[in-house]
């Protein structure tokens, strides 16, 4: 994450506590907002609100390590916008987490939740830590102390965390338990992505990948690209990337390239998905997979494929990489994987991008189902969940596509236009307090 003094995006909000650059996550988000302002009509009057996170909380997390030493970790929870409902967004554990990154991720949640019309604002959290270096006991202590520290702003009606990079159902269970102990009652609705027997929802684990598949299927249909036999390359083979790859493979596509933090593997004939998943479960990565050839990570970007799914971290598709991509369709499973200048390169080259703010909204949509089920204490079948998810994603994408055609803009700007209209209308109708 760069914190240099290079030029700010055109209309930086001038916050004193971050120093965005044109390629940093918050800088990328600000550019995306600037691109939609001309299409907001009279609501543009309220657009500045999108550049000011409502609340940013930085917490110190001291824990006693297994060897008896005490270490301090820095954690964050950002509530970007609460105009349409409680905050909603995941928690990331990663050594590169910064306040600025969490702000951008929270802002993208505001846009995403509005784009699929969920009754939520946007929030995100994170801890700067490499969880792979911690024992389970240390990870539990870290999670519990973090939850207590951010407990002053989260809650089933205030702000509802969920899993993100390097966090999972077990971490959500510890968060739920810690919050519940602090308030003196079992509060299942305080987090989503929990284990099934603790109020979790069927279908949640694979929901983000499923949403990537559904939006990809619809986009491919519009492009006249047959999924049966289509070649797919996936960067990031965690929760999102692996679930999406399995669904594409199930529809007849060939997964021809995969990259994660342990390596990059290609096979033009398509991988045996069963063997690939077995390697992932055994090693926690794909680097040692023998069903393909290992290549230089940078060559991943020029692999022959029809569909490219970035499902790792932000800022991966730079202008230089965008010039090498051979796919016709990019499905943004990750949040913020494409830099604004790279977006322009892809558009000039006629490569269609389904942006993160709709493409990966399947996870938060099923998180919403989980929250609703927890409140009503009535649980749905997996088929019901997948059907409802499919319909919400298809309907949301249809409206965004119509908006893109009407305004003659990219799907990203169209998604921002649909979402910002809902957010800023809520802002206007609520008025300013006091
Ligand atoms: P995860 O921790 O399950 O997987 C992350 C993957 O990225 C791993 O395969 C890891 O090896 C890979 N990775 C990390 N650094 C890399 C690098 N430098 N190069 C290549 N690969 C690298 O995380 P996830 O939940 O699958 O999240 C992935 C992305 O999807 C993130 O951008 C996240 O914000 C986004 N997302 C996740 C969800 C969700 O429900 N989990 C929802 C919406 C968006």
pTM of the model: 0.96
Per the domain annotation, does 159 fall within a domain? yes
CA Rg, the chain, in Å?
A: 21
Burial of 158 (0-12, 13-18, 19+ CB in 10 A): middle
Report the number of distinct structural domains present in the chain: 2
Residues 180 and 211 in one domain: no
Residue 194, domain member (yes or no): no
The verdict on 332 and 235 lying in the same domain is yes
Closest ligand 1 atom to residue 166 Cα is 2
Q: Is 433 helix (H, G, I), strand (E, B) or coil?
A: coil
Helices (H) and strands (E) in the chain, counts: 13, 12
Is 124 a residue of the active site?
yes
Indicate whether 310 and 221 sit together in one domain: yes
Give the Å distance between the CA of 92 and the centre of ligand 1. 10
* Catalytic choice (124, 141, 194, 206): 124
Residue whose structure tokens are 């390590």:
65
Q: Is residue 193 part of a domain?
A: no
- pLDDT tens string, the chain, 434 residues long: the values are 344 444 445 445 689 999 999 999 999 999 999 999 999 999 999 999 999 999 999 999 999 999 999 999 999 999 999 999 999 999 999 999 999 999 999 999 999 999 999 999 999 999 999 999 999 999 999 999 999 999 999 999 999 999 999 999 999 999 999 999 999 999 999 999 999 999 999 999 999 999 999 999 999 999 999 999 999 999 999 999 999 999 999 999 999 999 999 999 999 999 999 999 999 999 999 999 999 999 999 999 999 999 999 999 999 999 999 999 999 999 999 999 999 999 999 999 999 999 999 999 999 999 999 999 999 999 999 999 999 999 999 999 999 999 999 999 999 999 999 999 999 999 999 999 99
Cα-based torsion angle of the residue sequence 212, 213, 218, 223 in order, rounded to the nearest 10 degrees: 90
Residue 236 three-state SS: coil
Domain check: are 237 and 316 in the same one? yes
Give domain status of residue 30, yes or no: no
- Same-domain check for residues 169 and 224: no
The tokens describing 165, both together, are 């990079």
Q: How far, in Å, from the CA of 165 to the mean position of ligand 1?
A: 5
CATH code of the domain in which 318 resides = 3.40.50.720
Instruction: Looking at the structure, tell me whether residues 231 and 311 fall in a common domain.
Output: yes
| 156 assigned to some structural domain | yes
The residue to which tokens 């996170």 are assigned: 53
Residue 19: inside a domain: no
Of 29, 260, 389, the one to substitute when testing ligand 1's pocket (max ligand atoms within 8 A of C-beta) is 260
Read off φ and ψ for residue 320, nearest 5 degrees: -65, -45
CB 401 within 8 A of CB 415: no
Q: What share of the chain is helix, strand, coil (3-state, %, to 5)?
A: 50, 15, 35
| Domain-located, residue 107 | yes
Residues 179 and 211 in one domain: no
Ligand 1 centre to CA of 313 (Å) is 6
Residue where a domain terminates, one of 359, 385, 420: 359
Mutate to test the pocket of ligand 1, among 127, 205, 239 (most ligand atoms within 8 A of CB): 239
Say if ligand 1 is within 6 A of residue 363 CB.
yes
> Ligand 1 in contact with 101 (CB < 6 A)?
no
Q: Please give the residue range of the domain that contains residue 293.
A: 207-359
Contact (Cβ atoms closer than 8 angstroms) between residue 321 and residue 342: yes
- Length of the chain equals 434
Please tell me whether residues 319 and 211 are part of one structural domain. Answer: yes
- Whichever domain contains 178, its CATH number is 3.40.50.10860
Ligand 1 pocket, residue 205 CB under 6 Å:
no
Question: Both 177 and 215 in a single domain?
Answer: no
Ligand 1 contact, 361 CB (< 6 A): no
């Amino acid at each position: 994450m760069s914190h240099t003094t290079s030029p700010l995006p055109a209309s930086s909000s001038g916050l004193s506590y971050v120093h965005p650059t044109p390629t940093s996550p918050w800088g990328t988000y600000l550019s995306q907002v600037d691109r939609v302002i001309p299409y907001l009509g009279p609501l543009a009057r309220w657009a500045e609100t999108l550049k000011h996170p409502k609340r940013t909380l930085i917490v110190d997390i001291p824990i006693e390590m297994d060897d008896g030493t005490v270490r301090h970790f820095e954690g964050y929870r950002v509530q970007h916008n609460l105009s349409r409902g409680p905050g909603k967004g995941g928690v990331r554990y990663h050594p590169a987490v910064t306040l600025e990154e969490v702000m951008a991720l929270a802002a993208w949640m505001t846009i995403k939740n509005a784009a699929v019309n969920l009754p939520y604002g946007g929030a995100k959290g994170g801890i700067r830590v490499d969880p792979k270096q911690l024992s389970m006991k240390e990870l539990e202590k870290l999670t519990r102390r973090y939850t207590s520290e951010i407990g002053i702003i989260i809650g089933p009606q205030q702000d509802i965390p969920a899993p993100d990079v390097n966090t999972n159902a077990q971490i959500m269970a510890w968060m739920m338990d810690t919050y519940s102990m602090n308030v003196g009652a079992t509060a299942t609705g305080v987090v989503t992505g929990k284990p099934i027997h603790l109020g979790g929802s069927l279908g949640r684990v694979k929901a983000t990948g499923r949403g990537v598949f559904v939006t990809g299927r619809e986009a491919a249909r519009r492009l006249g690209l047959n999924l049966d036999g289509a070649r797919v390359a996936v960067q990031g083979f965690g929760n999102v990337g692996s679930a999406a790859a399995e669904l594409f493979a199930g529809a007849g596509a060939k997964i021809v390239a995969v990259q994660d933090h342990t390596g990059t593997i290609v096979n033009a004939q398509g991988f045996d998905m069963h063997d690939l998943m077995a390697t992932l479960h055994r090693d926690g990565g794909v680097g040692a997979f023998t069903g393909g050839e290992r290549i230089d990570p940078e060559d991943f970007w020029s692999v022959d494929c029809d569909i490219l799914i970035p499902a790792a971290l932000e800022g991966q598709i730079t202008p230089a990489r965008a010039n090498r991509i051979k796919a016709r369709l990019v499905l943004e499973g990750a949040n913020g994987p494409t830099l604004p200048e790279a977006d322009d390169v892809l558009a000039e080259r006629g490569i269609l991008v389904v942006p993160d703010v709709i493409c990966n909204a399947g996870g938060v949509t099923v998180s919403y189902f989980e929250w609703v089920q927890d409140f009503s204490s009535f649980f749905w079948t997996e088929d019901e969940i997948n059907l409802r998810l499919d319909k919400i994603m298809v309907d949301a994408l249809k409206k965004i596509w119509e908006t893109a055609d009407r305004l003659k803009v990219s799907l990203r700007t169209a998604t921002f236009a649909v979402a910002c209209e809902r957010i800023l209308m809520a802002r206007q109708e609520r008025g300013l307090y006091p």
